[in-house]
Amino acid sequence: MKSTDLLSKMASIAVITLILTSSILYAPVVSAASEIDITNSNIDTEVNAKEKGRMTGGGSVFNDSMRVTHGFELNCDATKTPNNLEVNWDKGNKFHLENLTTASCTDDPAIKPNPPAAGFDTYEGRGTGRYNGVPGASTHWIFIDAGEPGNKDSATIYIWDAKGKLVLSVSGNLKSGNHQAHKGTVTPAKLVSIAIIPVNPTIALGNLQQFTANGTYTDGTTKDITSAAWSSSITIPK
């Protein structure tokens, strides 16, 4: 055999065409690219992505003799909207949230009912906004939904002005009002691409190569799908 013929056959082995023989249909070419884009979204391979919930409500908390009122609608996912928070206190002071920067929704097992119906009972967040109309203020809060009728719900709120001075610090159970945690919905995330590892392997004649396949889904999660049935459209020369 000529050396050029051997090199040609080796090259044909290095470029392997893989077809996923489950219910996934896609452009089945694996060459220099490490990603395979799904070209047909009619697929059964899905994972359930739990959408994060939200918390709404408001009420009054007292700091000594000062009444602090708040009202809000906040998503557990900081990238989702709407996110609103208004705080009013002492002689007309007010804060208006403009940007939700961080959000965390968790379950405190010490808070009844446990587990909560919404899957979480505590919302901790941070954001920026306007203090008495002046931009650049910041806030940090913890809102708790301790079940009905709401008299055990609590709020902790800190607000700093644009210069970093703490202008409000209040914490306590609601004297009036209610916090309500809302459960997120479950939506299926679909497979959109497959990454094959190793990329561009060199396989000697007569040898086997173990591949790993990782799927990426529409919600950004990844999953090892190596256990799916695979086959090659290339007949390896003997």
User: Where residue 68 sits, what CATH number does that domain have?
Assistant: 2.40.160
Report if residue 237 sits inside a domain: no
Does 8 share its domain with 36? Answer: yes
> Is 21 contained in some domain?
yes
Q: Is residue 238 part of a domain?
A: no
Confidence of residue 24 (pLDDT cuts 50, 70, 90): very low
Residue 210 has pLDDT above 90, yes or no: no
Is residue 233 scored above 80 in pLDDT? no
Share of the chain above pLDDT 70, in %: 74
Mean pLDDT of 30-41: 36
Give yes or no for a contact between 174 and 151, defined as CB atoms under 8 angstroms apart.
yes
Average pLDDT over the chain reads: 79
Domain boundary among 182, 197, 224: 182
Structural domain count, the chain:
2
Are 127 and 86 contained in the same domain? yes
Domain assignment of residue 34, given as a range: 3-48+187-232
For residues 176 and 192, state if they share a domain. Answer: no
DSSP symbol at 7: H
Residue 149 lies in a domain: yes
Q: pLDDT tens digit string along 110-135? A: 988 877 888 899 999 999 999 999 99
**What is the distance between the alpha carbons of residues 222 and 61, in angstroms, rounded to a whole number?**
44
- 200/165 same-domain check: no
The pair of structure tokens assigned to 99 is 């940007």
Top-confidence residue, 47 or 3: 47
Model confidence at 192, in pLDDT bands (50, 70, 90)?
confident
- Band (235; pLDDT cuts 50, 70, 90): low
Cα of first residue to Cα of last residue in the chain, in angstroms, is: 12
When pLDDT is cut at 50, 70 and 90, the band that residue 150 belongs to is confident
> Is the domain of 164 the same as that of 198?
no
Q: Which two tokens stand for residue 12?
A: 């044909």
Q: Same domain, yes or no, for 154 and 72?
A: yes
The b-or-e profile of 41-55 (16+ CB within 10 A means b, else e) is eebebeeebeebbbb
- Would you say residue 150 lies in a domain? yes
pLDDT average, residue stretch 215-222: 83
The residue with greater pLDDT, 67 or 36, is 67
Q: Is residue 44 part of a domain?
A: yes
The pLDDT value recorded for residue 72 is 98
Listed residues 146, 163, 182: the one ending a domain? 182
Q: Are residues 60 and 133 in the same domain?
A: yes
Q: Which of 11, 13, 19 is nearest to 194 (CA)?
A: 19
| 29 and 70 housed in the same domain | no
CB atoms within 10 A of CB 179: 25
Is the pLDDT reported for residue 73 higher than 80? yes
Cβ contacts of residue 222 below 8 Å, gap of 6+? 214, 215, 216
Are residues 10 and 94 both part of a single domain? no
Quick one: 62 and 173 in the same domain? yes
Whether residue 78 is contained in a domain is answered as yes
Residue 15 vs residue 127, higher pLDDT: 127
Q: Which two tokens stand for residue 39?
A: 């070209």
Contacts of 157 (CB under 8 A, 6+ apart): 61, 68, 70, 87, 139, 140, 141, 168, 169, 170, 171
More confident residue, 196 or 236: 196
Cis peptide before 115, with omega less than 30 degrees from 0?
yes
Given a cut of 80, whether residue 42 has pLDDT beyond it is: no
- 68 plus 111 within the same structural domain: yes
* Domain assignment present for 175: yes
Could you list the beta-strand ranges (E) of the chain: 18-20, 35-37, 46-50, 54-63, 66-75, 84-89, 93-106, 122-131, 134-144, 154-160, 166-173, 176-182, 186-197, 212-217, 222-224, 230-232
> What confidence score (pLDDT) does residue 128 get?
98
Flag whether pLDDT at 37 surpasses 60.
no
**74 in the same domain as 40:** no
